[in-house]
Amino acid sequence: MKNFISLHGRTIALASVLVLLAGLLGYVALRAGPMAPVAVTVISVDSQAIKPALFGIGSVEARFTHKIGPTFAGRIRRVEVQSGDHVAKGQLLGEMDPVDLDDKIGAQEATLRRAEATLLAVEAQVQEVGARKAFAEIQTKRYEQLLVASSVSEEGAEAKRQELQIAQASLAAARANLDASRQELIRVRADRDGLVRQRANLRLISPVDGIVTRRDADPGTTVVAGQAVVEVVEPSSIWVSVRFDQQRAQGLSAKLPAQIVLRSRAGELLSGQVLRIEPHADAVTEEILAKVAFTQIPQVLPPIGELAEVTVALAAQKSMPVVPNASVQRVDGRLGVWVVEDGSLRFAPIKTGATDLDGRVQILQGLSGGEQIVVFSFKALDANSRIKVVDRIVGKSS
Amino acid sequence: MISLAGRDILHAWGKFVLTGIGLGLLIGVTLTMAGVYRGMVDDANVLLDNSGADLWVVQKDTQGPYAESSSLYDDTYRSILGISGVARVANVTYLTMQVSQIGDGKARDVRAMVVGIPPDGAGHPGQPGYLVEGRRLTRGHFEAVADIASGFALGDRIRIRRNEYTVVGLTRRMVSSGGDPMVFIPLKDAQEAQFLKDNDAIRAQRARTAQSPALNRPGVPGLLDAVIASQSTNTSVNAVLVQIEPGTDPEAVAEPIRRWKHLSVYTRMQMQSILIEKLIATAAKQIAMFLVILAIVSAAIVAFIIYTLTMGKIREIAVLKLIGTTNRTIAGMILQQAVALGLIGFVVGKVAATFWAPVFPKYVLLEPGDAVRGFVVVIVICVLASVLAIRAALKVDPAEAIGG
Amino acid sequence: MDKNRSDPSARGIRIEGLTKRYGHGDTAVDALKGVNMVVAPGEVVGLVGPSGSGKSTLLKCLGAIIEPTSGRMVLGQDVIYDNGWKISDLRALRRDKIGFVFQAPYLIPFLDVTDNVALLPMLAGVPNAEARQRAMALLTALDVQHRAKAMPSQLSGGEQQRVAIARGLVNRPPVILADEPTAPLDSERALAVIRILNQMAKQFDTAIIVVTHDEKIIPTFKRIYHIRDGVTHEEAGEGRGTN
């Protein structure tokens, strides 16, 4: 075939191949090599009032957690409630095994009854002794008169007086005995009451209207004094305990509005409010702790301990030049942005102020607004970089 | 005088151009291999550049954080900040792992180097220098800035260990020394990710702790909870990156840290030697060795092609000699053709290498210096090969032309 | 070359007692055993002999392609061989003093017809334009000027042979050696070639030796050398010419 192509045609074909190659080489050298201009995107600096916000994570907690357990070691006899049960104030939640306590109470009851009986007996004795004493008094009075009338002997009268004295002493003794029996009765009754109260203490009673959040032990388990068997919280008292990075917590204060996103309900924004900033910060994790309360308690109570993301809106700043944080770079130890002037680059050192969560940074110094600055670049820039302004860098070239 | 070489090329231009393209592809492969080697070294260098650090403070007697593992308490930075000459410090964690993208039809795994940095510190050590899309981290949790080499796009949801992150920014050429793309996440999350592997592992750990009688003592309520809580936090980082005041000698700042803080400190140059001479040395030598062999093979093939091309014209050369063409003219013809072939080959190779280099999964750096060296080598090889061919051509007996 | 032309006595060829022995000792073969030949300027002489008679060897010796064993060759006034080469640059000798026309044309395939012819003067340092002009003149004389821009592979056998003749003549050498120039041609074209050779010999004062065993053209020579077993015998030809 090639023999029939004229010399002229062949020259053209070869030349076109060579021109194509030369063109490609030129393209490669200028567009893909180090001489290629750096693709950048630019933005005009304008003034905006940014609304900084803080972002922190925390967990759902209850303000008051009632950990209900026995006051002394023992075995659990029964637990009446399950986690998630609603309980009323005063409701019986469970009971400890009383072991021999009931027997002890029975014994005390018997003792009490015996004391009561003893009391009755002593009272009867007092009456009997009283009666004897009254009879002795009468006899004594009569013998005194008879003595005056000398109808009885002196010895007879003396004997009657002695009988009266004995009766008087017996009465005093019987009365003392009665007093002791009464005291004994009080003691025995108090003993019994104490045991009954101890018995009542083995019953685990809810102190509030609330929800059982934990049931840590089951019947038969031996627990020590102070160990929680059941945990009850008041639904109305849940809040989020949030941790904010100290470095960025400037402006955080109570009463600021907050948005809460529960981890299990991503996308659902719950409103809340900063209730207080804890006076103690976490020194190890360098975080500030705060409590954020729900404006309205969610219908379905979030599980205690669930992770929550909290965004606290800070007060809006006054309008000043802002730039995207992607444009801020450090060159030779100075923070600044690349300003595009007549197609060439100049590094403008800046001082930055507040930032918001969308990555906008206030410029306190260095830019006055209206400048064209580089936001994204395909490569690191320097003052001699040739640039080509494009709309997007990703997707244009790789 | 007309150009015999030019006329011959013109006569069989298709064959010539095809030979040149074939040769070019071979040269392109060689240039690419050089680019692979350069890319490897460059990966190590950009890792250092991108960290923006002047000094790397790591666990004593380790060569971390890239070449060895290193662990420091995350409050170490406070005492370093107090040393004169230190301008800025930043805690940083590095963890190479699988990062999975989640979402319908997008689920896939990417091997990445997860870097934990304190959020929103533009210009701080450890921060990516420049972005190609999106913004830097602003939230202290659950945001990520990924390298475009990972294939992630803005808004993608990715899972690192137990947490999900939203990609808010994209970088370019932020890679580990092994070429894995970097994914930047907030430091606190990264610390957790480094320690809390997955829910199953946590549960298993809890169960183990609960089984230990020493840690789960009857009669001491709350001890187990406290032990588990202390096991579930991680206050370690892999390195502290330090930027020094301009005009300060890095070694002068490093020395007191080494001496008084009992930590290892590396300057930029020391770190570079660790990375290039130790970490990637074997792999780089492997590639370099292959490059040498490839270059030799390419040179041999170029020589054979030129020799064969010349031998194919031996009869014409005999006739030329018979009719009185001088040796110089014949040698010139062969030399010109060889050099022309080399030129076409080089151009094709350079263009091809440039176009296919971005397709490679790892970075291929085509340095202009390599191109120039490659050009010189190609031309020298062509000249040497044509010398062989010329020697053969000049030995041809003109009598061969008339068939004896 | 012009000076050669201005001095006709310096043209023509004379061969005396030329021998050529291939090999050594017992296996030696004497291809030429004392050849004597004289060809005057403007003369076309036939050299006829059977295969193996030594005519190719003689031609190669004449063309300074192989070296004879002994004897003497004089080209014009220059002794080029006298029991040894007397000229150092044989290639320049071939280029400037001897024209070749072969049985096969051996054109350079990558040059067009004009440049195939013009290459020789160009090699001798003649400017391109002048060399092409000279080539064109010869092509016109040989009636192939209409194929001047064609490549050799596009030509017919006769055309190729004519171009080859043009190439042999273009440097106006004092001697042209034609080896079976008419072998691939039919008789009409063969005669045409001989006619051209005769015409060229006259026009340029060239001594032409035509090696052939082509019965069609043998009668056209005025003088014929027969070669047999390495020895030449001169005899008068029919000299009918080609008309």
C221: region left, alpha or beta (phi > 0 left; psi from -120 to 50 alpha): beta
CA distance A209 to chain B (A): 26
Residue C77 lies in a domain: no
Query: pLDDT tens-digit profile of C164-217?
Result: 888 888 888 888 888 888 777 778 878 888 888 888 888 878 888 888 877 878
Query: pLDDT tens-digit profile of B310-319?
Result: 888 888 888 8
Among chain A residues, CA nearest to B148? A394
| B24 and B167 assigned to the same domain | no
Nearest Cβ partner for B10 among A7, A25, A375: A7
CB contact under 8 A, A7 and C153: no
pLDDT at position C243: 52
Q: What mean pLDDT value characterizes chain B?
A: 86
| B123 and B248 assigned to the same domain | yes
Residue B224 lies in a domain: no
In degrees, rounded to 5, the angle at the alpha carbon of residue A332 between the alpha carbons of residues A329 and A338 is 40
Helices (H), ranges, B312-394: 314-322, 327-356, 368-394
| B87 and B161 assigned to the same domain | yes
Query: pLDDT tens-digit profile of C67-116?
Result: 888 888 888 778 888 888 888 888 788 877 888 887 777 788 888 888 88
Distances (CA, A) of A210 to A85, A234, A304, C203: 8, 4, 13, 134
| B239 and B300 assigned to the same domain | no
Residues C16-40, mean pLDDT to the nearest whole number: 85
Among chain B residues, CA nearest to A36? B368
Instruction: Return the residue in A394, A396, A398 with the most chain B beta carbons within 10 A, the one to mutate for interface testing.
Output: A394
| B100 and B176 assigned to the same domain | yes
Nearest Cβ partner for C153 among A3, A6, A7: A3
Q: Which C residues, 137 through 166, put their C-beta within 8 Å of a C-beta on chain A?
A: 149, 151, 153-154
A274 — pLDDT class (breaks 50, 70, 90): very high
Q: How many domains would you assign to chain B?
A: 2
Contact partners, residue B64, CB within 8 Å, separation at least 6: B56, B58, B70, B238, B239, B264
Range of weakest confidence among A134-143, A261-270, B155-164, B218-227: B218-227
Residue C93 lies in a domain: yes
User: Largest Cα–Cα distance of chain B, in whole Å?
Assistant: 116
Contact partners, residue C243, CB within 8 Å, separation at least 6: none
Whether chain A has a CB inside 8 Å of the CB on B134: the answer is yes
Q: Which residues of C touch A7 (CB under 8 A)?
A: 112, 149, 151
Neighbouring chains of C at 3+ CB pairs under 8 Å are: A, B
Q: How many domains would you assign to chain C?
A: 1
Q: Is the pLDDT of residue A251 over 70?
A: yes
Query: pLDDT tens-digit profile of B136-163?
Result: 998 888 899 999 989 899 999 999 888 8
More confident: A26 or A171: A171
Percent residues over pLDDT 90 in chain C: 0
Residue C7 lies in a domain: no
Instruction: Return the residue in C93, C95, C119 with the most chain B beta carbons within 10 A, the one to mutate for interface testing.
Output: C119
Q: Which A residues, 364 through 393, put their C-beta within 8 Å of a C-beta on chain B?
A: 375-381, 392-393
Residue C22 lies in a domain: no
Nearest Cβ partner for B399 among C66, C91, C123: C66
CB contact under 8 A, A3 and C154: yes
| Pairing status of strand A287-294 against strand A329-331 | unpaired
Complex confidence, ipTM: 0.80
Residue-number span of the structural domain to which C141 is assigned: 41-64+89-223+231-236
Model-level pTM greater than 0.80?
Answer: no
| B321 and B293 assigned to the same domain | yes
Reading the block at residue A287, the tokens are 């975080």
Residue C164 lies in a domain: yes
pLDDT at position B403: 54
Distances (CA, A) of B149 to B93, B176, B305, B335, B353: 20, 11, 39, 45, 19
Q: What mean pLDDT value characterizes chain C?
A: 81
Nearest Cβ partner for B87 among A11, A333, A359: A333
CA distance A21 to chain C (A): 24
Residue B22 lies in a domain: yes
Secondary structure percentages of chain B, helix, strand, coil, to 5: 55, 20, 30
pLDDT at position A323: 92
Task: Count Cβ atoms below 10 Å from residue B260 Cβ, excluding itself.
Answer: 10
Q: Which B residues, 267 through 286, put their C-beta within 8 Å of a C-beta on chain A?
A: none
CA distance A35 to chain C (A): 41
Residue C8 lies in a domain: no
Instruction: Return the residue in C100, C110, C180 with the most chain B beta carbons within 10 A, the one to mutate for interface testing.
Output: C110
| B397 and B304 assigned to the same domain | yes
Instruction: Return the residue in A1, A3, A8 with the most chain C beta carbons within 10 A, the one to mutate for interface testing.
Output: A3
Q: What mean pLDDT value characterizes chain A?
A: 86
Q: Is the pLDDT of residue C4 over 60?
A: no
Task: Count Cβ atoms below 10 Å from residue A103 Cβ, excluding itself.
Answer: 11
Residue C36 lies in a domain: no
CATH of residue C213: 3.40.50.300
Residue-number span of the structural domain to which B147 is assigned: 60-196+234-262
Query: pLDDT tens-digit profile of A223-247?
Result: 888 888 898 988 888 899 998 888 7
| B11 and B75 assigned to the same domain | no
Residue C50 lies in a domain: yes
Residue B122 lies in a domain: yes
| B102 and B251 assigned to the same domain | yes
| B65 and B163 assigned to the same domain | yes
Residue B182 lies in a domain: yes
Q: What's the DSSP call for residue B395? A: T
Q: Which A residues, 35 through 54, put their C-beta within 8 Å of a C-beta on chain C?
A: none
Residue B315 lies in a domain: yes
Q: Which residues of C touch B326 (CB under 8 A)?
A: 91, 123
Distances (CA, A) of B340 to A163, A284, B391, C68: 161, 71, 19, 42
| B137 and B255 assigned to the same domain | yes
Please check whether residue A16 is in contact with residue A367, taking contact to mean a CB–CB distance below 8 angstroms. no
Query: pLDDT tens-digit profile of C130-139?
Result: 989 988 988 8
| B164 and B307 assigned to the same domain | no
C10 — pLDDT class (breaks 50, 70, 90): low
